[in-house]
Amino acid sequence: MNNKEILQKAKELVELLEKQEEAGKVALSTLKRGEVFQTTGKRKYKVLEQYGDTTKIIPLDLVKKDVKFGDSTDYNKSNVKKLCDTKILKDFEEEFGAENIEKHTVDIITADGQKIGNTECKIRPITFDEAREYTDITPNKDLCDWYWTLSPWSTEERGWGKSLAVVSLSGLIISSFYIDVIGVRPVCILKSNIFVSKVEE
């Protein structure tokens, strides 16, 4: 690419930025922890953390209701993972663009601190540790149900092989059986150079 082409690209970028600014949009990277945004108006999201060129987010509301976790506490074999990898992912790709959702790996650690594996994903439930870390910004009294984490409460060896950590509207964390039916409020990591509309919660 020669200087003339670089200059043209820079000019196009400036024009795009000006148009986005006129439309009331801002780069996702400029939002702080706890701030709320939307893109299409379909749903609102909250910023959990900024990582430089990516941003971890969570929707304000449940994305799916009345979901049984699965037939065990193994997230990688669960109904919830299947749902996150298919219908929910497709929904998020339509909203943000498939190229803007980052694939990442997260450790699966029980509520009592045992690392039992990991999972590779684009969309997933919050972990127990994240639910604790972001407990000051994730509660939403308007949620209609509790929601799953991907973290088992403990292990079979410790007498808790059938329970997972779940989170309430207020942020309370307790255990719930994998056969229970509650909500899905997933986390994802986006490229932070996309433009969004900052809104009130």
What is the per-residue pLDDT across 36-65, written as a single tens digit (0 to 9) for each? Answer: 999 988 899 999 999 989 999 999 999 999
What's the pTM value of the predicted model, to 2 decimals? 0.87
pLDDT tens track for 115-172: 999 999 999 999 999 999 999 999 999 999 999 999 999 999 999 999 999 999 999 9
pLDDT tens track for 98-120: 999 999 999 999 999 999 999 99
pLDDT for residue 18: 64
Task: Quote the tokens at residue 127.
Answer: 């972990």
pLDDT bracket for residue 189 (50, 70, 90): very high
Closest by CA position to 133, among listed 100, 181, 171: 171
Read off the pLDDT of each residue in 19-24 and give the average, rounded to a whole number. Answer: 62
Report the distance separating Cα 40 and Cα 65, nearest Å: 21
pLDDT tens track for 11-20: 887 777 666 6
Report the distance separating Cα 152 and Cα 147, nearest Å: 13
Kindly give, in sequence order, each residue whose CB lies less than 8 Å from that of residue 87, ignoring residues fewer than 6 positions away: 64
pLDDT for residue 198: 93
With pLDDT > 90 as the criterion, what percentage of the chain qualifies?
85
Task: Quote the tokens at residue 58.
Answer: 């969570």
Read off the pLDDT of each residue in 171-193 and give the average, rounded to a whole number. Answer: 98
Instruction: Please count the residues of the chain.
Output: 201
Q: Which residue has the tokens 């594996």?
A: 117
Beta strand 26-27 with 104-109: parallel, antiparallel or unpaired? Answer: unpaired
Closest by CA position to 73, among listed 133, 157, 145: 157
